[in-house]
Structure 1
């Protein structure tokens, strides 16, 4: 049995986590099962030139005229996989996705990248309708499943937990006594990333020998740039200066292509995820860090709590610079701690590679197709 998949999502060259996730899942699905194929309806702000053969149509935000052809293209596939985030579809809380879902006749798998613990009434209603219109909904952690069932009116038998896929692990960098330890945070920059608390935490390790270096890599999120300019980044620069950390904190402002990002991750001794939000259900950066077998320090958002509690990382409270500093000092100086975290990260990554995850999605798709009525 071969299966064709229609994806609805942002997609490269768009620079965001959903685009990267979709490209990875598409590649894993079409390479792990000979004969399976896929096409993408790319969500865009405005129509652009189609320069990737797998991108077969575009859904332009605030353009109702693009909805019907997008649905028609998706319906040419056996199963439709929809990536859901409130912010990528038009209308309040992405409500413009609902009419498109109602048009689809192929079974739909919706992948929920965010499950809010304190949704507004409208956010709750939108997500409940998205799940109701789908044949199955995927979350990436048990914590997200528990939250979804507790706070939203959704059918429990529709909810499946499939972890975020991890790329192939990279050889770890060994920390030598003469090396300068590298602490790394990467991703699109904007309020809510918690970088200000991480910078404050660097005060606790500024006297270590050799002196560590905190690298903050990534450009400002395009939507943040449009609405607020570089105000958040400038605020971070000011904090570095005010705390006297200019020699310890550096910024990589460009969006990093994967090869360059891989080299940067390989250099890192610790990956730091200081996110503000307690509702973050999944983090692609966390997944990539584990795939590289890196020790992780993260705030207590659900994905981190569930993934790191077995020993691959250290959890710290949100918005707590001293706690981040104390955790950094432990990982950089406590004998054997980083090595143990490395070993546990390797164990986790080996059980959640993209080929394994793709087979889970394929199994879910096959189940939905088996429930379809047989044509007379």
Structure 2
């Protein structure tokens, strides 16, 4: 069997890269596998082909945001001697909107392929759902790693159950060592070790464990919380070590800085196994349920660790039947009680460890690799019976490339010019806050989609314009002449609302914390004007902005009250205007009509 693997790959530091390397190694243990003619197609996060020093098995590199690379990768695979392919799917590693560029490769492949879904979303947007449906149509088999993922695929994405195979996440085939150097190290010696590992980012919920430490230290002063792992590269790029430093500050504030240590390192599997077997308790304190697969959790169970976790989807399945203990999301009080009990009850802790270890024997990579090999063999058998050509849902290759040249032409160091004649900027008519707000939203969307450096460059221009147009009382002017003279003292309610929309979206989707805080400052200064809005479109635009803000700060009661007030105004207008034959907010259709129901949809969400 000769296989092409399409995924990230070490030395790139990410969970999929490690998984892919483990899968390659597992399949290579089988006598029917041809290592010499199998290869990896690796995904790079930048446009630099030399970003990583890959090993010899990597024969082709795809730059994430270069669509032509996906097309050429498909041709490279088609012209190779491989029998089948494995595509590992995670929305974030592929280019285009929600990773749509992958379809350029999948739709051109002439070899049968199996797709491993590392993420299956419960509430996908239209593009995400369409991409998964397209991949499922073209794949010989879809592999998921949990029952929950299988349920979502059949019920939400309408993928037939017969097209799906459940293969649990593999774990290293390593036995506990008698001479555990980590356990004997000065750091671990005479300590009760709580342990978490993996790439660090805010969704990991490490602050919950730190908040639990004071109540644990009272009963177990020798406890030490060890956090092993580098900060996620994406977090480093945009926010540096802000999260790690905030965790250290929290520990200092709570008086437990001596009971926590950060090891900023990416260790080998053998060394990681020693950490897992040396710790007293392993903790995954993720913040919400939407984690369909966790490689770190699988590794911990495979190593026979006593695991405590929040009840995210994978944890609920993997830790069932007393293979671990669960605590509620963000509940540091409950966590501290569970930890205190397990550190005091050796028999109960050993039972968890033994149950996890026994289950983990079935997850070791040699056994998992054999299941994948059989799945690939089944794909080859099905390939020999040609089906009718499957129509493409999304023809990505025929989509026009996004071109920002006209926007760049209209933008100077003040903002975007509001009008053009024959494609030439009309400086006589100057700038308006409406268009700069729209431009800011567009740049944020572009950066969210493909990390566009052009959008990152233009963002502060439009944001600076918004700040320049804000009055001392927090309202916004609308028009500015080319020579930077204000043309009005008070802008329209429509332009005010669009500005609030852009600021809310910025706070929700900012590429860095500096822009987010800047946006919060402008938005907070303008809140007092919400109650005075009379025109429905100004109200609706403002409501959308407030809803985006609340998606990032759901507990901000001040903005919850403002959202309720704005929504009530729209609902009241609808009830006052509707009758048996007319279901609308006004007695006629004018402009920006869709904004009105859109705002209430945002509010409902």
TM over 0.5: yes
The offset of 1:69, in angstroms, is 2.4
CA distance in 2, matches of 1:374, 1:144: 29
- 1:118-149 CA-to-partner distances (Å, cap 9, x unmatched) read 22232222222222221111001112111221
- 1:315-338 CA-to-partner distances (Å, cap 9, x unmatched) read 111121112212211221124111
The TM-score normalised by the length of structure 1 is 0.94
- Structure 1 position 58 matched with structure 2 position 61: yes
CA distance in 1, matches of 2:269, 2:368: 21
Higher helix share: 2
**SS class of match (2:92):** coil
Runs of at least 5 residues in structure 2 that lack an aligned partner in the other structure: 387-605
Runs of at least 5 residues in structure 1 that lack an aligned partner in the other structure: none
Q: Which has the larger radius of gyration?
A: 2
Look up the match of 1:141. 146
Q: Judging changes above 3 Å, is the alpha-carbon distance between structure 1 residues 335 and 252 closer, same or farther for their aligned structure 2 residues?
A: closer
- Structure 1 position 68 matched with structure 2 position 71: yes
- 1:289-316 CA-to-partner distances (Å, cap 9, x unmatched) read 1121110001111111111111111011
Contact 1:172 1:292 in 2 (8 A): no
Larger mean Cα displacement after TM superposition, 333-342 or 165-174: 165-174
- 1:261-283 CA-to-partner distances (Å, cap 9, x unmatched) read 33322321111001113111111
Look up the match of 2:234. 223
- 1:48-96 CA-to-partner distances (Å, cap 9, x unmatched) read 2654111111111121232222112333211110110010001121111
Look up the match of 2:160. 155
- Structure 1 position 31 matched with structure 2 position 37: no
Contact 2:74 2:108 in 1 (8 A): yes
Look up the match of 2:49. 47
**SS class of match (1:247):** helix
Given the alignment, which residue of 122, 126, 131 partners 2:131? 126
CA distance in 1, matches of 2:232, 2:137: 31
CA distance in 2, matches of 1:331, 1:32: 41
Q: Judging changes above 3 Å, is the alpha-carbon distance between structure 1 residues 267 and 313 closer, same or farther for their aligned structure 2 residues?
A: same
Contact 2:284 2:297 in 1 (8 A): yes
Q: What are the within-5 Å matches in structure 2 for residues 1-376 of structure 1? A: 3-37=1-35, 38-45=38-45, 46-48=48-50, 51-75=54-78, 76=80, 77-171=82-176, 179-209=190-220, 211-373=222-384
- 1:161-211 CA-to-partner distances (Å, cap 9, x unmatched) read 0011111243278999x8311111010001100111111122221123452
**SS class of match (2:204):** coil
Higher strand share: 1
Contact 1:115 1:279 in 2 (8 A): no
Contact 2:5 2:41 in 1 (8 A): yes
CA distance in 1, matches of 2:28, 2:276: 27
Provide the aligned length of Structure 1 versus Structure 2.
372
- Runs of 4+ residues over 6 Å off in structure 1: 172-176
CA distance in 2, matches of 1:332, 1:128: 47
**SS class of match (2:172):** coil
The offset of 1:155, in angstroms, is 2.4
**SS class of match (2:315):** helix
Larger mean Cα displacement after TM superposition, 28-37 or 111-120: 28-37
Contact 1:170 1:266 in 2 (8 A): no
Contact 2:5 2:87 in 1 (8 A): yes
CA distance in 1, matches of 2:177, 2:212: 25
CA distance in 1, matches of 2:33, 2:138: 28
